[in-house]
Amino acid sequence: MNRRVGADVQARVGVILEELVESGRESGLQVAAYLDGEPIVDAHAGWADRPGGRRLGADTLIHSFSTGKGFTATLVHVLAERGLIAYDTPIAHYWPEFGAHGKERATVRHALTHTIGVPQLPSAVTPEELCDWDTMCAIVAAQEPLWEAGTASGYHGWTFGWILGETVRRITGLTPAQALRTYVTEPLGVADELFFGLPESELARTAPLVEGNWAAWLESLPPTAPFRRYVAPNRAVWTVAELANRRAYLLADLPACGTTTARAAARLYAALSGEVDGVRLMSPERVALAADVAVEGKDLMLLGRYAKGLGYFLGLPAMAGERTAFGHHGSGGSIAFADRGRGLAFCLTRTRLVAGAADTAAGLLADEIRSAVTPPRTS
């Protein structure tokens, strides 16, 4: 056990998980954490499929929606580390069709920072179209931007995945799922636990999601709210359990989202903040570039104020507001991040989708782990 962490941290986290499930606040959760590249927590509780009587395990796969954007950003940075992609190169250089309607100067950096100006989906888009890669890439390429690239930031909830994923495909000749496996998950030893689209063979160990109050929260947003109007324009493509439990959706290569175990995602972030079993995904200099503030201020889609790095959110509540922490959260309360200041990596995956006052598990569990960790020496 790492000397910077209390020996009972695993047990303490396990008690909290059991209490959350027994109270009925949660259905099934996984929590994992690394410190200085070493695993310190790998805990789980509850149900993978309560009606079916299947308990949740450490290797149960859980769809975690936009937590997967952190995987996509990491893939792009790994390719940049290898000289295969450049942040300030226009996307149209790699994907000429994307340059339509004044987007010819929009860059990879703009896509990573949600400043590219194309967060919108067609109002009548269907789940079937959502799962059709070529169809969605053609739709996104043909969109007129809502603002000039680089002049504002607004969360690209779905389009982030096609914009960066198709760029990766044009560069590598691999689908996003194949590229993630080749450049990220195989080197890390988590190729069977961290995915964009699932292999069909993995469906059986994937936990169905269940609704808490997340769908009701989406419903409460006025139809004129930017998120409802542009990012999620109709109920059929809301990031809710009904969509996530569709077989075709889970199999689709959608790098705006991801399916993972907590321990795999925590390992990924540990390999960003340091070295894990001899593997480091990118240099410290590139991590600093990716995880420092790139844009900050009001998000035109989410309407709150956020700090964003290159593909990651910084200082979210579960990160204790620390600007040294970077990662991504997902619809319904999942999150994965690294805290460079502490040498800590953390992931929470969950089967019950919640929002607002019900969304307390990530902060509660991350605080418990942080409280058990001694700060690193600075001298």
Of the candidates 101, 80, 100, 81, which has an alpha carbon nearest to the alpha carbon of residue 89? 80
d(CA 33, CA 339): 11
Contact criterion met (CB below 8 Å) for 308 and 295: yes
Helix (H, G, I), strand (E, B) or coil at 35: strand
Q: Give the number of C-alpha atoms closer than 13 A to the C-alpha of residue 308, restricted to the C-beta side.
A: 29
Tokens representing residue 10 in the block: 């695993």
Identify the active-site residue in 64, 66, 153, 331. 66
d(CA 46, CA 208): 13
d(CA 228, CA 221): 7
Rg (alpha carbons) of the chain, rounded to whole number? 19
Helix (H, G, I), strand (E, B) or coil at 286: helix
Contact criterion met (CB below 8 Å) for 263 and 32: yes
Known catalytic residue at 66? yes
Contact criterion met (CB below 8 Å) for 250 and 127: no
The backbone torsions φ and ψ at residue 88, rounded to the nearest 5 degrees and listed phi first, read -100, 15
- Where in the sequence numbering do the catalytic residues fall? 66
